[in-house]
Structure 1
Amino acid sequence: MSNVDSPDKPPLALIAGPTASGKSDLAVRLAKVLESVGRRGVVINADSAQVYADLEVLSARPSVDEMQGVEHRLFGDWDGAQACSAADWAERARVEIELAHEDGAVPILVGGTGLYIRTLLDGIAPVPPVDPQVREAVRDMPLADAAMALQAEDPDRAARLGPADSARIRRALEVVRSSGQPLAHWQQQLSGGIGGAVILHPAILLPDRAWLYERCDRRFAAMLQRGAIAEVEALLARQLSPDLPVMRAIGVPEIADFLRGTAILEDALARGSQSTRNYVKRQITWLRHQPPTDWPRVESEHFNEGNIFASLLRD
């Protein structure tokens, strides 16, 4: 995710932060500052939940009022019946970034999904399609058996995954069984990244964890009052596969249990809040350690867009 500065390259602002960190507000404020100096900002979503039209409330997708007249792209563009992979999103994001540059605008990438950001900037591994029979066999295995199989067939990948990380365990096992090579083999052959073709102006938001957790709890409780239950009810009515990302998004399983009568609302609230905090913890870990060390880390709840993006505003 490195970037080589060059005056011949167009700019790309990146605001990456965990859930409830205020990154969407900062993106709009940056766009307003750009507007004040005669430039146009276009906010492009890099959040794996906010891409789904079905998750307006539970993903905290910006409302029309919150967008404040600033152009927003890739928010709610996918139907929940269609999984949006990192490759799918990166392909669309590249198009939106190119269109913004062609129009003389500054694309402002905002989100907290590390895999999306990494795929866009660094490229994607050319993993061959998984044999459907292999996929079906792996998906039918109990998770414990899949983890043991991965330990035998790709021990390096197994050592990096937690025992409950079902999606990544199954994906790694599918790849090694279908292609004959571990996932790491393919990830060493990344292609298609745009990191070297833009002047990147990044900011990593890392406000106080306790402050974030308190905001997460308040936000999830507010979601239950603002339509999250009806949102999940509509999803259940569609009878979508439980393996789809939209059905596994934070809040959906918890509220679904309440709607099925297997949990009371207080339990759904507690579990949804805890799931959100767990996700924030994983996001913080990724944001602290995975992006390049020269990307600015903003460890405050108060953001000054003029200071954070001084280099962008000077250009």
Structure 2
Amino acid sequence: MSAINANSSFAPVLIVAGPTASGKSALALDMAEAFDGVVINADSMQVYEELRILSARPDESETARAPHRLYGVLSGREACSAGKWREMAMAEIADCHASGKLPIITGGTGMYLNALTEGIASIPDVPARIRDSVTAELEDLGHTAFFEKLAKDDPETAAALDSTNTQRLIRAAEVFAHTGRGLASWHKEPVITPPANMKFKKLCYMPPRDILYDRCNRRFDLMIEQGAIDEVRDLIALGLPESAPVMKAVGVRELGAYLAGKIDLATAKEKSQRETRRYAKRQLTWFRHQMTDKEIIDAQYSESLAAKMRHDINQFLLTTPK
């Protein structure tokens, strides 16, 4: 069924969120088939071209069932910020509405979802050359000296940072280098909010924890069978800095240690599975605090649950905003 009237002042967006390995991608795909939708990625690792297996990107059989967008669209040499993702997502959402399709945002990166639904500070995008320069400077100076320099340039931001958090240090320094203003100063600016006619329907799929953890374990086993080791080997061959976001995907460091002969494969797999479960646990906690009880689905996926969700989504689409 066609869900959208391109000329309507009502611009609906369905969000299917949840922790890693929860089955949210399958749920989003089912809803895309039911409502003539387009699945739009909101996972910070699935945007990278090099991480097809380790990020559990949809395969050809899934992408054949409904259009998928923002999967594998960036090189690992690029850093995808919440602002950059939001800009890409808004373009895809606008395209969906113009063509009468329902945009279905799915992923577990809470920062991306909040940037879309709640808004984001208007910080200019930082050119890759500046990010690379700042990253090289950190590697040359070391964390302590780099943090001390940042504290002199931008004391307000530095005061709220963990001096050992590489990614946040680089982000603060690159923004200052590009704009001459501190990150904390930018965060005081009015946020860029969603258009007034954009309405969100949120579903957060949270299966029981024991089932979720078992899925995490089994999914990593499958990743190994599908070629995750070769994927990590190819990624390492690019010579990217360890601070690059793509290098922080669960499994990259662990399988990299195996390829370097530092640990055996069984240990690498065990560590990767443990990190995946820890990541899932952090996501569960985040969603519990960010989503309402009505938005959270505490159940295993079944046809009866799917039917209820289709009914709820249909009611949302038929509702005319006052």
Deviation for aligned residue 1:86:
1.9
TM-score normalized by structure 2?
0.81
Which position in structure 1 is the counterpart of 2:208? 208
Which position in structure 2 is the counterpart of 1:301? 300
What is the total number of aligned residue pairs between the two structures?
302
Tell me, in whole angstroms, the C-alpha distance in 1 between the residues paired with 2:63 and 2:203: 20
The superposition leaves residues 187-225 of structure 1 with CA deviations (integer Å, 9 ceiling, x where unpaired) of 232443326431211111222222211111111122111
Tell me, in whole angstroms, the C-alpha distance in 1 between the residues paired with 2:179 and 2:99: 42
* Kept after mapping to 1: 8 A contact 2:147/2:158: no
List aligned pairs for 1:85-104, cutoff 5 A. 85-104=81-100
Deviation for aligned residue 1:305:
3.1
AA in 1 matched with 2:10: K
* Kept after mapping to 2: 8 A contact 1:120/1:195: no
Which position in structure 1 is the counterpart of 2:268? 268
Query: Mean Cα displacement is larger for which, 136-145 or 55-64?
Result: 136-145
The 1:75–1:156 alpha-carbon spacing in structure 2 relative to 1, beyond 3 Å, is closer
Which position in structure 1 is the counterpart of 2:19? 18
Which position in structure 2 is the counterpart of 1:4? none
Tell me, in whole angstroms, the C-alpha distance in 1 between the residues paired with 2:173 and 2:282: 23
Q: Secondary structure at the match of 2:266?
A: helix
AA in 2 matched with 1:282: R
* Kept after mapping to 1: 8 A contact 2:49/2:76: yes
The superposition leaves residues 267-310 of structure 1 with CA deviations (integer Å, 9 ceiling, x where unpaired) of 2101111221121122122211134x376111122252332353
* Kept after mapping to 1: 8 A contact 2:49/2:72: yes
* Kept after mapping to 2: 8 A contact 1:138/1:174: no
The 1:253–1:107 alpha-carbon spacing in structure 2 relative to 1, beyond 3 Å, is same
Query: Mean Cα displacement is larger for which, 213-222 or 281-290?
Result: 281-290
Tell me, in whole angstroms, the C-alpha distance in 1 between the residues paired with 2:61 and 2:217: 23
**RMSD of equivalent CA atoms:** 3.0
Deviation for aligned residue 1:140:
4.3
Query: Mean Cα displacement is larger for which, 188-197 or 45-54?
Result: 188-197
Q: Secondary structure at the match of 2:201?
A: strand
Q: Secondary structure at the match of 1:54?
A: coil
Which position in structure 2 is the counterpart of 1:257? 257
2:108 to 96, 105, 112: 112
Deviation for aligned residue 1:170:
4.4
Tell me, in whole angstroms, the C-alpha distance in 2 between the residues paired with 1:180 and 1:71: 41
AA in 1 matched with 2:20: T
The 1:53–1:176 alpha-carbon spacing in structure 2 relative to 1, beyond 3 Å, is closer
TM-score normalized by structure 1?
0.83
The 1:196–1:212 alpha-carbon spacing in structure 2 relative to 1, beyond 3 Å, is farther
Q: Secondary structure at the match of 1:11?
A: strand
Deviation for aligned residue 1:82:
2.2
> Which runs of 5 or more structure 1 residues have no equivalent in the other structure?
1-6, 35-39
* Kept after mapping to 1: 8 A contact 2:232/2:255: yes
Deviation for aligned residue 1:135:
6.3
* Kept after mapping to 2: 8 A contact 1:150/1:158: no
List aligned pairs for 1:152-231, cutoff 5 A. 165-172=165-172, 183-194=183-194, 196-231=196-231
Which position in structure 1 is the counterpart of 2:32? 31
Which position in structure 2 is the counterpart of 1:9? 10
The 1:158–1:140 alpha-carbon spacing in structure 2 relative to 1, beyond 3 Å, is farther
Q: Percent identity?
A: 38
AA in 2 matched with 1:297: I
Q: Secondary structure at the match of 1:307?
A: helix
Which position in structure 1 is the counterpart of 2:63? 67
Which position in structure 2 is the counterpart of 1:80? 76
Which position in structure 2 is the counterpart of 1:37? none
AA in 2 matched with 1:302: Y
* Kept after mapping to 1: 8 A contact 2:34/2:310: no
* Kept after mapping to 1: 8 A contact 2:254/2:272: yes
* Kept after mapping to 2: 8 A contact 1:44/1:108: yes
Deviation for aligned residue 1:177:
8.5
AA in 1 matched with 2:103: P
